[in-house]
């Protein structure tokens, strides 16, 4: 692994805007070319821990969630992506899923990996850069929430079954940081214990020596915030997780809730969102530095380990995403320069 270049690392949450030419002509070779472009763009911006833009799960037929759901569940055994009118009606009766008109798929039997191969999906990135790399996987709790379950009969058990499949999958992933993405629990903190149990089961599969991370946000569906809630309700959940750091949304929400992170277990590093991905306005490097300075004043020096955008950047125009990546790094550098 490459040595860290500073005490606070810059990274991305995962996704990057899909080049239009890949959408128009989605071949295997074009996807590799697009991945090279995405990785090099991050390198030129100076990002320390890069991703493949989540192009490893690119599917032109599911642009609305950037493959966050369908890539994982659509390949598993025991799940059918054929959704009937009766299935959609049954799903509509489930609480907390008003933003979806129908389930992503239907669980009909015991889950298995099917054709899912996350090790193979992650492999190309390592050969494209000498920087530290990140690979992302959707939380089993979030996946369970978007499925119609006709087999397990209990969302907790379904979450654990999904976690078991993903645990075996991440064991084959070669990445410096393996990050679990969760964008539903923020609005349902009452499920914190069962969600944490499933996530920890998944994280058991992360190879020794890799960083374990959780990205938690309040949703980014069509550029809109989906979940309502507060970090005060979520710190207990975060403290249950077997992670090295968390990747949290703040730029959009403001930084008043940083106070609640004083209760975060000291073993868990803080990743601070300093770039608003729901706004086309590009922040200044001074503003990024001020946000980082404020966070360290509230939380104490050394608590912030990473700075990053609030969430994935896939819905932004590429020119805006590129500019935001540059100011992310420039703002971090400006802050570190002032702090010496």
pLDDT by position in tens, the chain (length 340): 344 445 899 999 999 999 999 989 999 999 999 999 999 999 999 999 999 999 999 887 766 667 889 999 999 999 999 999 999 999 988 766 666 779 999 999 999 999 999 999 999 999 999 999 999 999 999 999 999 999 999 999 999 999 999 999 999 999 999 999 998 898 899 999 999 999 999 999 999 999 999 999 886 655 555 556 688 999 999 999 999 999 999 999 999 999 999 999 999 999 999 999 999 999 999 999 999 999 999 999 999 999 999 999 998 999 999 999 999 999 999 999 844 4
How high is the pLDDT of residue 313?
Answer: 94
How high is the pLDDT of residue 1?
Answer: 39
How high is the pLDDT of residue 59?
Answer: 83
> Whats the size of the chain, residue-wise?
340
Torsion from C-alpha of 158, 225, 42, 71, nearest 10 degrees: 30
Torsion from C-alpha of 280, 285, 291, 293, nearest 10 degrees: 170
How high is the pLDDT of residue 226?
Answer: 55
The CATH number that domain 9-76+114-142+154-339 falls under is: 3.20.20.210
């Amino acid at each position: 692994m490459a040595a860290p270049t500073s005490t606070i690392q810059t990274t991305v949450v995962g996704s990057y805007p899909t080049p239009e030419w890949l959408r128009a002509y989605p071949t295997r070779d074009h996807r590799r070319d697009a991945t090279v472009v995405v990785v090099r763009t991050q390198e030129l911006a100076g990002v320390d821990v890069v991703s493949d833009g989540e192009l490893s799960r690119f599917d032109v037929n599911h642009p609305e969630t950037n493959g966050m759901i369908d890539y994982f569940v659509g390949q598993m055994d025991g799940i059918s992506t054929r959704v009937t009118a009766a299935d959609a009606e049954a799903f509509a009766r489930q609480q907390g899923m008003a933003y979806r008109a129908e389930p992503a798929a239907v669980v009909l039997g015991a889950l298995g990996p099917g054709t899912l191969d996350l090790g193979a999906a992650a492999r190309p990135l390592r050969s494209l850069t000498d920087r530290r790399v990140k690979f992302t996987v959707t939380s089993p709790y979030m996946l369970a929430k978007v499925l119609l379950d006709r087999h397990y009969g209990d969302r907790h058990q379904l979450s654990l079954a999904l976690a078991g499949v993903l645990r075996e999958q991440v064991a084959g992933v070669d990445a410096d940081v393996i990050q679990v993405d969760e964008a539903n629990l923020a609005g349902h903190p009452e499920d914190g214990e069962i969600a944490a149990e499933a996530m920890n089961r998944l994280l058991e599969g992360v190879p020794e020596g890799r960083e374990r991370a959780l990205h938690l946000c309040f949703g980014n569906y069509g550029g809109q915030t989906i979940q309502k809630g507060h970090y005060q309700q979520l710190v207990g959940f975060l403290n249950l997780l077997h992670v090295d750091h968390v990747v949290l949304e703040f730029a959009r929400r403001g930084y008043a809730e940083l106070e609640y992170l004083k209760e975060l277990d000291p073993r868990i590093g803080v990743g601070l969102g300093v770039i608003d991905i729901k706004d086309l306005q590009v922040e200044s490097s001074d503003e990024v530095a001020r946000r980082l300075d404020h966070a360290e004043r509230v939380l104490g020096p050394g608590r912030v380990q990473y700075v990053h955008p609030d969430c994935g950047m896939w819905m932004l125009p590429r020119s805006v995403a590129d500019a935001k990546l540059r100011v992310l790094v420039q703002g971090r550098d400006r802050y570190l320069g002032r702090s010496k």
